[in-house]
């Protein structure tokens, strides 16, 4: 959890997740192209140099979090990657605006969605290729959706999508297609495997159902829920009695921005506001600190919760859904005082 005591996650500590095997282990820029096809006036084939030089470079600091981050904590347990809390990170992503690229290609009348495919291709033709989609209106309305070629000021690491990946701030990482190679503008809603039936959440306000049950209707997963974590001290640490200890952590949401972080040192009975760190934008981890002087020796449960700009927060009880998505229960660490 030490990486979640600060706003920027180093590239070499960033989580990695793929869907189909084998994954690309090398990329030749002489042959790599980003193709834009489908319902466009001018199909494009862009080199990495084209991306760098033909479109303004735009940077956004944004959280990239797996839809199933913390799935391993679900009760009753659910099948899938049994993540702890590490399937998230925050970086400054830089690249070309997706809408600038689509504008250069000229989106034609009747365009509904764009699909995104990368270099990772399954070993068997029967295995569904990893392809995602976004609404064209969402792309054209959102200046922060990028085709990024830099991560924290460096070229994208291979395992984080070299040479270019989609960046969809505020939305779960499933949309952030790596090693992006093909964008197709289409006249319908794309419903192949990785949009349906995969990566769906219950179609209701909480995205949840009674534990152990199946939702009647589902929609594609989208905006991230509010979360906050204590990065330091780590759970199980010993802290001295009568001396101040600085609690540190991060909070984030799906793009409204963090308004307030509150800390409780009595297990969630009383709450006090934490100090917020620098504002790196509404899609970023927001650092927080809280100075606490433990009065008595013994065990102490320190709890954190965040509120975003539209008042959304976190619950005391975890919500449940069969795929293990959207987890945002209030988190805590147990410390030993004295």
Partner 1 sequence: MRRAFAPGLVAFALAVSAGAAADRTIVLPADDRYATLALGPGVEVTRQQCSSCHSTDYIVMQPRGDARQWDGVVTKMIKVYGAPVNDQDAKTIVEYLAKQYGN
Q: Which residues contact partner 1 (rule: CB under 8 A)?
A: 11-17, 20-21, 25-29, 72-73, 77-79, 81-87, 122-128, 155, 157-160, 162, 193, 197
Nearer to partner 1, 157 or 315 (CB): 157
Nearer to partner 1, 17 or 57 (CB): 17
Nearer to partner 1, 13 or 189 (CB): 13
Rounded to whole angstroms, the Cα distance separating 247 from 298 reads 18
Instruction: Tell the smallest beta-carbon distance from residue 148 to partner 1 (Å).
Output: 14
- Whether the CB-CB separation of 89 and 63 falls below 8 Å is answered with yes
Instruction: Tell the smallest beta-carbon distance from residue 19 to partner 1 (Å).
Output: 10
Instruction: Tell the smallest beta-carbon distance from residue 82 to partner 1 (Å).
Output: 4
Nearest to 205 by CA among 95, 315, 293: 315
- Quote the DSSP letter at residue 215: -
Rounded to whole angstroms, the Cα distance separating 25 from 5 reads 31
Nearer to partner 1, 18 or 271 (CB): 18
Rounded to whole angstroms, the Cα distance separating 187 from 141 reads 18
Instruction: Tell the smallest beta-carbon distance from residue 266 to partner 1 (Å).
Output: 24
Nearest to 226 by CA among 144, 81, 327, 123: 327
Nearest to 40 by CA among 96, 137, 114, 140: 114
Instruction: Tell the smallest beta-carbon distance from residue 27 to partner 1 (Å).
Output: 6
Q: How far is CA 49 from the centre of its chain?
A: 27
Instruction: Tell the smallest beta-carbon distance from residue 17 to partner 1 (Å).
Output: 7
Instruction: Tell the smallest beta-carbon distance from residue 28 to partner 1 (Å).
Output: 8
What does the block give as tokens for 238?
A: 């010993």
- Quote the DSSP letter at residue 319: -
Distance spanning both ends of the chain, measured CA to CA: 22
Nearer to partner 1, 122 or 281 (CB): 122
Q: Tokens 């090693």 appear where? A: 179
Rounded to whole angstroms, the Cα distance separating 225 from 223 reads 7
Which is it for the CA torsion 315, 74, 64, 198, positive or negative?
negative
Instruction: Tell the smallest beta-carbon distance from residue 155 to partner 1 (Å).
Output: 5
Whether the bond between 202 and the residue before it is cis, its omega within 30 degrees of 0, is no
Residue 268: burial class (beta carbons within 10 Å; 0-12, 13-18, 19+):
middle
Nearer to partner 1, 124 or 296 (CB): 124
Nearer to partner 1, 79 or 295 (CB): 79
Nearer to partner 1, 12 or 49 (CB): 12
Query: Helix, strand, or coil here: 11?
Result: helix
């Amino acid at each position: 959890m030490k990486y979640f005591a600060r706003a920027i996650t180093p590239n070499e500590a960033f989580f990695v997740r793929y869907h189909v095997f084998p994954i690309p282990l090398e990329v030749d820029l002489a042959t790599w192209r980003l193709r834009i096809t489908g319902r466009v006036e001018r199909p494009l084939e862009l080199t990495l140099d084209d991306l760098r030089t033909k479109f303004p470079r735009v940077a956004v600091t944004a959280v990239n979090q797996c839809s199933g981050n913390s799935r391993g904590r679900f009760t009753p347990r659910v099948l899938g990657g049994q993540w702890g809390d590490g399937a998230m990170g925050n970086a400054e992503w830089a690249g070309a605006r997706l809408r600038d690229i689509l504008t250069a290609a000229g989106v034609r009348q009747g365009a509904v969605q764009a699909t995104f495919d990368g270099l990772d291709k399954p070993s068997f033709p029967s295995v569904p290729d990893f392809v995602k989609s976004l609404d064209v209106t969402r792309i054209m309305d959102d200046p922060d959706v990028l085709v990024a070629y830099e991560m924290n000021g460096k070229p994208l690491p291979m395992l984080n999508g070299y040479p270019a990946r989609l960046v969809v701030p505020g939305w779960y990482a499933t949309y952030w297609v790596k090693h992006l190679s093909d964008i197709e503008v289409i006249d319908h809603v794309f419903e192949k495997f990785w949009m349906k039936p995969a990566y769906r959440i219950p179609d209701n306000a909480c995205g949840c159902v009674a534990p152990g049950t199946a939702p009647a209707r589902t929609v594609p997963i989208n905006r991230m829920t509010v979360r906050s974590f204590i990065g330091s001290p780590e759970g199980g640490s010993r802290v001295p009695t009568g001396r101040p200890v600085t609690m540190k952590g991060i909070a984030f949401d799906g793009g409204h921005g963090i308004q307030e972080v509150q800390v409780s040192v009595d297990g969630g009975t009383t709450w006090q506001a934490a100090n917020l760190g620098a504002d790196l934008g509404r899609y970023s981890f927001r650092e927080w600190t809280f100075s606490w002087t433990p009065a008595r020796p013994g065990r102490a449960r320190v709890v954190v919760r965040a509120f975003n700009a539209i008042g959304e927060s976190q619950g005391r009880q975890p919500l449940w859904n069969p795929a293990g998505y959207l987890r945002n229960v209030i988190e805590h660490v147990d410390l030993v005082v004295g």
